[in-house]
């Protein structure tokens, strides 16, 4: 018989993620062109120092990305992406006690970073690139599937939905079925609604409001809204002034059952998560 404890434990390479409570995932972009921190951590030592600071601040996962997925971002070759990502994955695995997530859609990057110590594949394209399903299956790692229509270069070109939450759920269910077909069981899947990807402000707000409906898919949710344009549009704030809006959404996502919060501002978000946990655990 499967125990309740085993249902909340997600093996991530040589570490285990306990999904009984909410975790904070720190963002580490090793790209020159990410929308918020492009170029700041493209050098190995700076990236490692930032990863260490996020772990000390309470991050239990570090999400390493070598390809920007902001609207209109430049495509990078698999070799270029791997050259950006592989050295920092190897160093983090060797020097820090943290689960390494790799933000990639590229099969060769999935395979190589799994060999170097990655514990989670986080794919904004939901394994739709050629060879990605088989590569992810071969690693044996858990996978985060995210909703997005089109590609980053064109995803914001007039996205339309009749019922955004229902359609996001249907998309994610279909991708889960494709994963099952190649041997990636539901127990190895995390789901991301894809806030800011092929969605207008009203789509994002409606999806966030009705997020609980996605629990019907039976898998933990990852929510990434840190510093995104939905905050800027709702509050009329530039990227550098979106912390408080982001913390409000982090708190709301936690209360709505999200199990992983993908953020730039780790220490502040960890305080939010811990404060909610303190209240919820009180007599």
Q: What is the Cα–Cα distance from 231 to 277, expressed in whole angstroms? A: 25
- Residues with Cβ within 8 Å of 280's Cβ and at least 6 positions away in sequence, in order, are none
Q: If we measure between CA atoms, which residue out of 246, 205, 240, 207 comes closest to residue 224?
A: 246
Q: Which of 188, 199, 227, 228 is flagged as catalytic?
A: 228
Concerning whether 274 is annotated as a catalytic residue, the answer is no
Q: What is the Cα–Cα distance from 62 to 113, expressed in whole angstroms? A: 13
Concerning whether 15 is annotated as a catalytic residue, the answer is no
Q: Helices (DSSP H) in the chain: which residue ranges?
A: 4-8, 44-56, 78-95, 107-116, 132-139, 164-181, 201-209, 229-235, 243-255, 266-280
**Reduced to 3 states, what is the DSSP secondary structure of residue 31?**
coil
Q: Which of 84, 242, 259, 262 is flagged as catalytic?
A: 262
Catalytic residue numbers read 228, 262
């Amino acid at each position: 018989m499967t125990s309740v404890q085993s249902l909340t434990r997600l093996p991530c390479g040589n570490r285990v993620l306990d999904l009984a409570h909410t975790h904070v995932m720190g963002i580490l972009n090793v790209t020159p062109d990410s929308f918020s921190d492009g170029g700041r951590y493209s050098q190995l030592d700076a990236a490692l120092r930032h990863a260490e600071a996020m772990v000390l601040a309470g991050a239990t996962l570090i999400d390493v990305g070598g390809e920007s997925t902001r609207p209109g971002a430049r495509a990078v070759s698999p070799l270029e992406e791997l050259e950006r990502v592989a050295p920092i994955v190897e160093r983090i695995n060797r020097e820090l006690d943290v689960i390494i997530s790799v933000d990639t859609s590229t099969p060769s990057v999935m395979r190589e970073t799994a060999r170097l110590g990655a514990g989670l594949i986080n794919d904004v394209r939901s394994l739709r690139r050629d060879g990605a399903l088989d590569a992810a299956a071969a690693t044996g790692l858990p996978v985060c599937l995210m909703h997005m229509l089109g590609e980053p270069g064109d995803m914001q070109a007039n996205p339309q939905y009749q019922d955004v939450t229902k359609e996001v759920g249907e998309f994610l269910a279909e991708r889960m079925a494709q994963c099952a077909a190649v041997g990636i069981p539901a127990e190895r899947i995390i789901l991301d609604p894809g806030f800011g990807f092929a969605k207008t402000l009203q789509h994002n707000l409606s999806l966030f409001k009705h997020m609980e409906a996605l629990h019907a898919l039976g898998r933990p949710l990852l929510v990434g809204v840190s510093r995104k344009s939905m905050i800027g549009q709702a509050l009329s704030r530039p990227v550098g002034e979106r912390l408080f809006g982001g913390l409000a959404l982090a708190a709301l996502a936690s209360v709505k059952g999200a199990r992983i919060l993908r953020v730039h501002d780790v220490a502040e978000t960890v305080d939010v998560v811990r404060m909610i946990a303190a209240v919820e655990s009180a007599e």
